[in-house]
Amino acid sequence: LTALEEPLYIDRFLFMSWPKSTLSVLVWTPALGAFLLLFVRDERLRRRIAFGFPAFSLAVAAALALTFDPDASLRELHRWIPQLGLAYDLDLDGFSSLLIVWISLLALVATASADPSERHVDSQILLAETALLGLALAGDGVLLLSFYGAGLLSTALLLRRAGAIQAFLVFQSVAAALAVVSIAVSYHLARIQTGFPSAEIARFSSLVTFPDFRARMLLLGAAMVAFAGPLFPFTSWVKAPGLSREGRLLLLGGWSLAGALFFSKAVLPAYSGGGASWLPTAIAALSLVYAGVAARLSWPSLLVGAQGLVVLGLLSPTTEGVAAGRAGMMQLAIALSAIAIWTSDTDDRGPRLTSAFAVAMFLPVSWLVLRDRWNDAPVLAGLAFLGLALMLFHAARRLPPLDRRRGLLLLPLVALWSLTLLAPSRFLPEGSGTIALEEE
Amino acid sequence: VIAHAALAIVPLLAAWTLRTGKRGRWIAATLDAAALFAVAIFWTLPDADWSGLFFSASILVAVLFAVLSPEEDLDAQARLHLGASLGIVAAASDNLAWSVPAVLLSALLVQETRKRLHFFLVPLLAALVGLVPSVGNAAIPIGLLGLAATWLVAIREVLRNSPASLVNRTAISFVLLVGFVSVALRFPAGLALHAVALGCLGLGALGALGATRVTTFLASMTLARAGLVLFAQLGGTPGRAPAMMALAVSGAALLLLAAALEDTESVEDGSTLGSVSRRLVLVLGALSLGSFPPFPGFYILFPLSSAVFERGYSNALIAAALLLFLVALGCLRLVSRAVDSHGARSNEVGIARAALVLSLVAILAFSIVPAPLAEIARIAALARN
C-beta separation of B65 from B167 below 8 A:
yes
Q: Do A177 and B325 touch (CB under 8 A)?
A: yes
Calculate the CA B160 to chain-centre distance: 16
Q: Do A173 and B332 touch (CB under 8 A)?
A: yes
Task: For residue A370, give Cα distances in angstroms to A230, A268, A322, A378, B239.
Answer: 20, 19, 12, 9, 48
pLDDT at A438: 46
- A402's CB contacts (< 8 A; 6+ apart) are A353
Tell me the C-alpha distance between B146 and B139, whole Å.
10
Whether the per-residue pLDDT at A231 is higher than 60: the answer is: yes
Supply φ then ψ for residue A89, to 5 degrees: -130, 110
Whether the per-residue pLDDT at A401 is higher than 60: the answer is: no
Closest alpha carbon within chain B to A145: B293
Share the mean pLDDT of chain B: 83
- Per DSSP bridges, beta strands A75-81 and A86-91 are antiparallel
Closest alpha carbon within chain B to A167: B336
Least confident of A53-67, A229-243, A261-275, B15-29: A229-243
Share the mean pLDDT of chain A: 80
Whether the per-residue pLDDT at A311 is higher than 50: the answer is: yes
C-beta separation of A136 from A329 below 8 A:
no
Question: What is the identity of the amino acid at B306?
Answer: S
Whether the per-residue pLDDT at B243 is higher than 70: the answer is: yes
C-beta separation of B139 from B106 below 8 A:
no
B322 vs chain A: nearest CA distance in angstroms?
A: 9
Q: Do A161 and B371 touch (CB under 8 A)?
A: no
Q: What percent of chain A has pLDDT over 90?
A: 20
Whether the per-residue pLDDT at A403 is higher than 60: the answer is: no
pLDDT at B357: 82
- B289's CB contacts (< 8 A; 6+ apart) are B221, B224, B225, B250, B253, B254, B257, B297, B327, B331
Least confident of A22-31, A54-63, A74-83: A74-83
- Residues A255-264 have pLDDT tens digits of 889 999 999 8
Closest alpha carbon within chain A to B271: A162
pLDDT at A8: 54
**pTM listed for this prediction:** 0.87
Considering only CB atoms, B329 lies closest to which of A145, A165, A173, namely: A173
Residues on chain B bordering chain A, Cβ-to-Cβ distance under 8 angstroms? 241, 271, 276, 287, 292-295, 298-303, 305-306, 309-310, 321, 325, 328-329, 332-333, 335-337, 339-343, 368-371, 374-375, 378
| Contacting residues of A for B378, CB less than 8 Å apart | 83
Least confident of A220-224, B20-24, B280-284, B345-349: B345-349
Closest alpha carbon within chain A to B379: A83
C-beta separation of A371 from A324 below 8 A:
no
Task: For residue A381, give Cα distances in angstroms to A65, A304, A313, A378, B286.
Answer: 34, 16, 11, 5, 45
Average pLDDT over residues A173-191: 92
* Cis geometry, peptide bond prior to residue A30 (ω within 30 degrees of 0): no
C-beta separation of B194 from B316 below 8 A:
yes
| Contacting residues of A for B327, CB less than 8 Å apart | none
- Residues A5-32 have pLDDT tens digits of 555 555 545 555 677 788 999 999 999 9
Residue bearing the bigger pLDDT, A216 or A406: A216
pLDDT at A289: 87
Whether the per-residue pLDDT at A100 is higher than 80: the answer is: yes
Alpha-carbon torsion A395, A400, A401, A404, what sign? negative
Q: What is the three-state SS of A226-253? A: HHHCCCCCCCHHHCCCCCCHHHHHHHHH
pLDDT at A261: 92
pLDDT at A287: 87
Tell me the C-alpha distance between B352 and A193, whole Å.
49
Considering only CB atoms, A184 lies closest to which of B305, B335, B368, namely: B305
The segment with the largest mean pLDDT, out of A90-104, A305-319, B99-113, is: A90-104
Closest alpha carbon within chain B to A168: B336
Beta pairing partners, A90: A76, A138
| pLDDT band (50, 70, 90) for residue A439 | very low
C-beta separation of B275 from B349 below 8 A:
yes
Site from B306, B308, B322 to mutate, A interface, most A CB atoms within 10 angstroms:
B306
How many CB atoms lie under 10 A from the CB of residue B186? 15
How many CB atoms lie under 10 A from the CB of residue B156? 19
Least confident of A175-189, B13-27, B307-321: B13-27
| Contacting residues of A for B329, CB less than 8 Å apart | 170, 173
Residues on chain A bordering chain B, Cβ-to-Cβ distance under 8 angstroms? 1, 79-84, 86, 120, 142, 145-150, 153, 156-157, 160-162, 165-166, 169-170, 173-174, 176-177, 180-181, 183-184, 187-188, 191-192, 197, 199
Tell me the C-alpha distance between A258 and A156, whole Å.
13
Whether the per-residue pLDDT at A440 is higher than 50: the answer is: no
DSSP state of B366: I
Closest alpha carbon within chain A to B297: A146
- B168's CB contacts (< 8 A; 6+ apart) are B66, B69, B71, B73, B76, B77, B80, B162
